[in-house]
Amino acid sequence: MTLSRRSILGLSVPLCSALALKAQEAKSNTEKLPRKWGAAPTAEFAPQRVILGWTGDPAHTQAITWRTDKRAETPQVQFAPASANPDFVSGAATVPAKAGSLDVGEGRTVGTYRANLQGLKPDTHYLYRAGDGKNWGEWFEFHTASDQPQKFRFLYVGDAQNDIKSRWSRVIRAAYAKAPNSAFIIHAGDLVASGYRDDLWGEWYDSMEFIAATIPSLAVVGNHELEKPAGTPKSLALPAIWKQEFAYPQNGPGLPENESYYFDYQGVRFLSLNVNLLENEKNFDANRPAIGQMVAWVDKALDNNPNRWTIVTQHQGMYSMAEKRNYVKMREMLLPTYEKYGVDLVLQGHDHLYARSHKIAGGKVVAGDARGIVYMISVSGPKMYEVTPTFEPLMAKVIPHTQMFQTIDVDQNKLVLRAYSPESEQLDGFQLEKKGGHSIYSELPKTETADAAVE
Ligand SMILES: [Fe+2]
């Protein structure tokens, strides 16, 4: 143990006078607090699980969600343009938040809150804090999107799911260290092993920590989000915690058991599709009307798309690489629509391995300059599955037993995806270059180093 300067000095004076001095110092600090320095929030009203998302346009809005142990009377957010001058606080605007309650089990109910900031300036750095007017969390930062198609970077991670705090946290930290200026993070489903368990979400937030509060998280629903406590009948119903904590546009197909949405970010349409309806093919006939409604919605969302790029996120893989998985009906129902509208890339999870396809059309590998789609499966958590060879001929790269994260850079003409290990070693990469209406696919040069990758 090393002694600080303060403790060394303390040893040179009698103990009682040192304690008295300390008490006096503390008292005078307390007296000053209300005038200049904010007091720490009381534990029951301290904002927890602060997370960013969007329900509206990312260039002009920002949704902020949090919770407290005890329900606050006047939940609110303060925000201001970022400044190095600490007096930015005096110019902060206040926005009230909508409050709700969430039963988190074991007799506990917490207060949940969502503030939706509107009228923000595009491409601008802001600071904000959540609280109730008296109890405040720290000032976090966010950056609004540009309202023009412009180059940006985002992160994509597959299933976190198991041992989240213990063995997933290192991956999300590495992802943040590699790409701290990411516009958002796409979580491709199965963020936790059981969406109904608050303690697992607690691990997820403990791992995400300030990253959740500074980079928006856009998540797609996996099968494990629907996983209920043992003994409870399975259904496609999403837990309340998902709906209350993740902010996403309410522009989905309007099905009670399907949370899908799309949003546009600087020249890219992102479509997040809950394909759980298509996972169990035994239920296909029973789910047929809902599936039809979902596919009609996908068709509309892809048809009415002014962006040059289109990226779909879904949990279950179109060309699954894990044992006993082959979603025939999913391909039958969705592939024609994806191919018709020229989707560029499909980001998936579920198989607990890494698999990245060549360019594919009609179930076959096509030339790099032909019309087609690249499909990816990735995993960020520690649970791993073995590779099954069914669709291996379609894959350009398969990496088993490796926790991974991906950065994706997009500008008007080029999309570059790089896949990394938690040690930030670049393990895979490819690019798509737009030429006219479609893209030219190529592998990244083998000589490219991880450092050169950060543009
Ligand atoms: Fe999973």
Q: What is the pLDDT of residues 88-99, one digit of tens each?
A: 999 999 999 999
Judged against a pLDDT cut of 50, whether residue 161 lies above it is answered with yes
| Mean pLDDT for the chain overall | 91
Over range 23-32, report the average pLDDT: 49
Full-model pTM: 0.91
Backbone torsions φ then ψ of 120, nearest 5 degrees: -80, 160
Q: 408 C-alpha vs ligand 1 centroid, how far in Å?
A: 22
In angstroms, what is the span from residue 371 Cα to ligand 1's centroid?
Answer: 30
CB atoms inside a 10 Å sphere around CB 366: 15
3-state DSSP call for residue 105? Answer: strand
Residue 212, φ and ψ in degrees, nearest 5: -65, -30
The alpha carbon of 151 and the centre of ligand 1 are apart by a number of angstroms equal to 31
Residues β-bridged to residue 269:
264, 310
**Residue 350 Cα to ligand 1 middle (Å):** 4
Domain covering 152-453 in this structure, CATH number: 3.60.21.10
Ligand 1 center from residue 159 Cα (angstroms): 5
Report whether pLDDT(429) > 60: yes
Ligand 1 centroid–CA 448 distance in Å is 31
The residue with greater pLDDT, 178 or 323, is 178
Q: Is the pLDDT of residue 270 over 50?
A: yes
- 221: CA distance to ligand 1 center in Å? 11
Mean pLDDT along residues 144-150: 97
Q: Do domains 45-143 and 152-453 have the same CATH topology?
A: no
CA of 204 to the centre of ligand 1 (A): 15
* CA distance linking residue 270 with residue 250, whole number of Å: 14
Cα–Cα distance, 289 to 234 (Å, whole number): 20
pLDDT one-digit tens code per residue, 177-190: 999 999 999 999 99
In CATH, the number for domain 45-143 is 2.60.40.380
What's the gap in Å between 225 CA and the centre of ligand 1? 9
The pLDDT score that the predictor gives to residue 437 is 76
Indicate the domain borders of the chain: 45-143, 152-453
> How far away, in angstroms, is 352 Cα from ligand 1 center?
6
Cα–Cα distance for residue pair 364/55, rounded to 1 Å: 37
